[in-house]
């Protein structure tokens, strides 16, 4: 086990170091500025990811130290707020809904989207129907789209959406999560791998984006609307005041 632990630690740390250097070299600047501009204009950051990439959306929306004007779009919204029956939840577990090409229109319609909003969409492969469809629809409706994806993986697989496009080919800004093809970093045997990294690097990118956006807002002379942990004194009071500015526009259901 120690051999795997050491090897995986190196795989993770080398990717986080690469992302750190990328951010220090200005790679984060365009995305952070776009998010800050949207927030300053009264917009909300709409975060979307399917499968394990939903963890990225959760890292963006509704957590301590994060921006308050953030909303999480999830496939289960089609059941909770749309016309899909509960049996559709079985498809969620089987990764069927995320591959449906027509699901994006439904998802957009049940989401709390304002014309001022900006989209951040995460997908390691960047080719499934829901991801590509929502990115295309967001662009069509005039929203700026930021993508977080594995450039190595998406380049190695065929596009699945009828448009023939990948998330990385649609977004205004593309951020590479540094995950390898297949996501896993350590080969076990017969081509099987373990040690997936996209969730780890995705969470790191989400935090870099949040910090970068806050810095942009401060430089512009604006007070960043940031969550304080509800588990410390005064947290709820602080958060409730700021959340009140976005009534009917934020969604973070489990």
* 101-133 pLDDT per residue, tens: 788 999 999 999 999 999 999 999 999 999 999
* 223-237 pLDDT per residue, tens: 999 999 999 999 999
In three-state secondary structure terms, 71 is strand
Complete edge-to-edge strand list for the sheet that includes strand 45-49:
70-73, 45-49, 118-122, 145-149, 173-176
**Residue 88 CA, distance from chain mean position:** 23
pLDDT for 254 equals 58
Kindly tell me if the per-residue pLDDT of 94 is higher than 50: no
Strands (E), 172-219: 173-176, 184-189, 192-196
Kindly tell me if the per-residue pLDDT of 95 is higher than 70: no
Sequence-distant (6+) residues with CB within 8 A of 80 are 253
* 49 phi/psi in degrees, rounded to 5: -160, 150
pLDDT for 185 equals 96
* 135-173 pLDDT per residue, tens: 999 999 999 999 999 999 999 999 999 999 999 999 999
pLDDT for 93 equals 47
pLDDT for 139 equals 98
Task: Decide if 46 contacts 119 (C-beta within 8 A).
Answer: yes
Q: Is 31-246 in CATH node 1.10.3720.10?
A: no
Task: Decide if 147 contacts 171 (C-beta within 8 A).
Answer: yes
Domains of the chain, by residue range, sit at 31-246
pTM of structure: 0.94
């Amino acid at each position: 086990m120690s051999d795997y632990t050491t090897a995986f630690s190196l795989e993770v740390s080398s990717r986080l170091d690469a992302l750190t250097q990328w951010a220090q070299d200005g790679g984060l600047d365009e995305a952070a500025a776009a998010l800050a501009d949207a927030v300053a204009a009264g917009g909300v950051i709409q975060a979307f990811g399917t499968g394990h990439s939903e963890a990225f959306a959760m890292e963006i929306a509704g957590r301590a130290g994060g921006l308050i004007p953030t909303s999480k779009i999830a496939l289960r919204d089609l059941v909770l707020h749309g016309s899909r029956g509960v049996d559709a939840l079985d498809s969620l577990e089987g990764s069927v809904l995320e591959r449906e090409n027509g699901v994006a229109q439904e998802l957009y319609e049940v989401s709390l989207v304002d014309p001022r909003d900006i989209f951040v969409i995460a997908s390691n492969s960047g080719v499934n129907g829901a991801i590509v469809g929502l990115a295309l629809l967001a662009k069509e409706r005039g929203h700026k789209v930021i993508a977080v994806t594995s450039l190595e993986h998406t380049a190695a697989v065929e596009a699945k959406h009828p448009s023939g496009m990948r998330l990385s080919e649609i977004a205004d800004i593309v951020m590479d999560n540094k995950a390898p093809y297949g996501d896993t970093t350590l080969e076990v045997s017969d081509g099987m791998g373990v040690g997936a990294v996209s969730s780890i690097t995705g969470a790191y990118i989400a935090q870099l984006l949040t910090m970068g956006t806050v810095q942009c807002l401060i430089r512009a002379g604006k007070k960043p609307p940031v969550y304080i942990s509800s588990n410390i004194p005064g947290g709820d009071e602080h958060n409730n005041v700021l959340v009140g500015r976005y009534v009917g526009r934020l969604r973070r259901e489990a």
